[in-house]
Amino acid sequence: MREDIVLKPIGTVLAEVEEPVDMPLGGLSSVIEIYPEYAEALKGIEENSHIWILSWFHKAPRDILKSIPLKVNPDLPEYGVFALRAFARPNPIGLSLAELITVEGNRLYVRGLDAIGGTPVLDIKPYYENDIVFSPDTPYIRGKHREMRQKLMTRHALTHHREDCKDLHLAVRMAAIAEDNFGKVNSPEVSVFAVGSGCLADCLQGITRGRLAAPPRFDFVISEQECSSTWKKGDRTLIIKAKKDVGLENIMMLDDEVLFHIELK
Ligand SMILES: [Zn+2]
């Protein structure tokens, strides 16, 4: 039996962005205001660093079954909407994993929420350890521009490493070069060997989702003298060695060749 379902919003999103086209990839820092009658349901929520937000994309078309992730790259193939996170879908339910920054009364301050101001919120659930799949199989939704690809890698690295440090940015730049040469870096065919700080190794593992075994795609040696990564795909090897000490603010500005010695064999 197909019956209609009635949902009651439990709160609303307060954000600067009002139109879906203006929503940046990766979401926004925003506030979720829970209606007073549901405020009790927030008890204990502050024990979580991350929460799932289910919302209702009230401005989304509901008659679209296939689309292209245009914001990411208009050259990508078409996918069914159930194979995408596109906001247009028969039931435009938004699913967003947001970082919970702080809770003040019935207001949740979050980072990374993909919902415009005024979006009705349907539900909130904590993100648990058992939600983590370290190395899932996913389609290669390649961002059109290098900047966009680096932004996504920065997000993956930050989620894994939880510290915005210099070697995180070096790891992102190395992985972006590897992607230019080998395509998807979290592919089972790509392996990486890191030499450098624990931060570099940690971030490269977070970006590539390379496990140490079963099958081995990642390995590292801690070194204070060297900062490098060696990438392999098939019979090709790419070696990326950091040249000299650069400031954190420079890393994303400098050209690949200024930052690294790059060798492709
Ligand atoms: Zn670090």
CA distance 196 to 225: 7
Paired strand residues for 96 = 53
Give the helix/strand (H/E) hosting 228. strand 228-233
> What's phi and psi for 47, nearest 5 deg?
-75, -5
Tell me how crowded residue 148 is: count the other CB atoms within 10 A of its CB: 16
List strands edge to edge, sheet with 218-222. 218-222, 190-196, 228-233, 236-242, 260-264
Q: How many other C-beta atoms are found inside a 10 Å radius of the C-beta of residue 166?
A: 18
Going from the Cα of 163 to the center of ligand 1, the distance in angstroms, rounded, reads: 5
CA atoms within 13 A of residue 34's CA, in its CB half-sphere: 21
Find out whether 235 and 205 touch, Cβ atoms under 8 Å: no
Establish whether domains 11-131 and 146-264 are of one fold: no
Helix (H) or strand (E) holding 173: helix 166-182
For residue 262, how many other CB atoms are within 10 A of its CB? 16
Would you say the C-alpha torsion 202, 194, 177, 185 has a positive or negative sign?
negative
- pLDDT of 21 reads 85
Distance 30 CA to ligand 1 centre (A): 26
Q: How far is the CA of 192 from the centre of ligand 1 (A)?
A: 18
**Ligand 1: distance of its center to the CA of 110 in Å?**
22
Which pLDDT tens digits describe the chain residue by residue (265 residues)? 799 999 999 999 999 999 888 888 888 899 999 999 999 999 999 999 999 999 999 999 999 999 998 888 999 999 999 999 888 999 999 999 999 999 999 999 999 998 999 999 999 999 999 999 998 888 898 999 999 999 999 999 998 999 999 999 999 999 999 999 999 999 999 999 999 999 999 999 999 999 999 889 999 999 999 999 999 999 999 999 999 777 777 788 889 999 999 999 9
170, 196, 147: which is closest to 250 by C-alpha?
170
Q: How far is the CA of 236 from the centre of ligand 1 (A)?
A: 29
Q: Could you tell me if 113 and 15 are in contact, meaning their C-beta atoms sit under 8 angstroms apart?
A: yes
Classify domain 146-264 at the CATH topology level: 60s Ribosomal Protein L30; Chain: A; (3.30.1330)
* Phi and psi at residue 90, to the nearest 5°: -55, -45
Sorted by where each begins, the domain ranges of the chain are: 11-131, 146-264
User: How remote is the CA of residue 200 from the centroid of ligand 1, in Å?
Assistant: 7
Q: Say how many Å lie between the CA of residue 263 and the centre of ligand 1.
A: 26
Nearest 5°: the CA angle 120, 38, 13 is 25
**CATH architecture of the domain with residue range 11-131:** Beta Barrel (2.40)
